[in-house]
Structure 1
């Protein structure tokens, strides 16, 4: 069985490296780590990972929530926010992007594993529904 692939989006190099090492120890495959929303979108298109772990406050013109919306709408890749932004307004805004999970920093390895496993499980049950919906929309256009 192939290892689940994960894209890490974190602008703090030490935290990013720690997440990558933790994922590797858990037998996931981190495809790469990036620091900006634009890079997250580009790498998501390039690698189509199984899950994206995304900080909300990242470098660039967009934040993680904006990137998550684009990735959700275009690629249907689950995003789990891993962030220190725990205020109610940010959480409410993040929820509008329909994340597959939310892990507050500082987090334990177990917190990260539970969030990734839940996202992978939810994705596995939703993928056939999404694919069926895409097929239906395509055939409806053709007729």
Structure 2
């Protein structure tokens, strides 16, 4: 198993802490935690994580889809989206950014483990090419 460095972006502090703890329990490293799109961009630039767990609905001017798009375009770092909402239009906009996965809240540890394992495979494949 490869240890992934994961940036957690979630505007609810208690949920962000829970996600970070779950990531660690699953054997990965938390590169940082951010609560806004702008902070996510800054932390991604500073810490260069392998991937971002990105909440779609963030407080502030930008949402998680916009933040993930910028991080992917400018830094080449892909995201796994997390959302409490699964409406079709939002999911289509999110999928247009080529995420590594998509999780609907409340997050089940089995779902997180599965999407992180798939991201790990994708990450390793990218290293080989």
TM-score range (shorter-chain normalised) is over 0.9
In 2, the alpha carbon distance for the partners of 1:107 and 1:51 equals 17
Separation in structure 1 between the aligned mates of residue 29 and residue 99 of structure 2, nearest angstrom: 20
Question: Distance between the aligned counterparts of 1:109 and 1:121, measured in 2?
Answer: 18
Alpha-carbon offset, residue 123 of structure 1: 2.2
What is the number of equivalent residue pairs in this alignment?
129
Measure, in 2, the Cα distance between the counterparts of 1:14 and 1:2: 27
Q: How far apart, in 2, do the equivalents of 1:127 and 1:40 lie?
A: 24
Classify the secondary structure of the residue corresponding to 1:106: coil
How many Å apart are 1:126 and its aligned residue?
Answer: 2.6
With normalisation by structure 2, the TM-score equals 0.93
Aligned to 2:122: 122
Greater share of helix residues, 1 or 2? 1
Q: In the TM superposition, what are the counterparts of 1:70-109 in structure 2 within 5 Å?
A: 70-109=70-109
How far is the alpha carbon of 1:30 from its aligned partner?
0.6
Q: Deviations over 1:37-96 (max 9, x none)?
A: 011111111111011100000122110000111111111112000111200010011111
In the aligned structure 2, how far is the partner of 1:68 from the partner of 1:124?
20
1:84-120 residue CA offsets vs partner (Å, 9 max, x unmatched) = 1200010011111111100011121110111111112
CA contact (8 A) 1:10 1:33 kept: yes
- Cα distance in 2 for residues equivalent to 1:14 and 1:3: 24
**Residues 128 and 76 of structure 1: CA distance in aligned 2, closer, same or farther (over 3 Å):** farther
Residue equivalent to 1:24 = 24
Q: Which residue of 2 aligns with 1:45?
A: 45
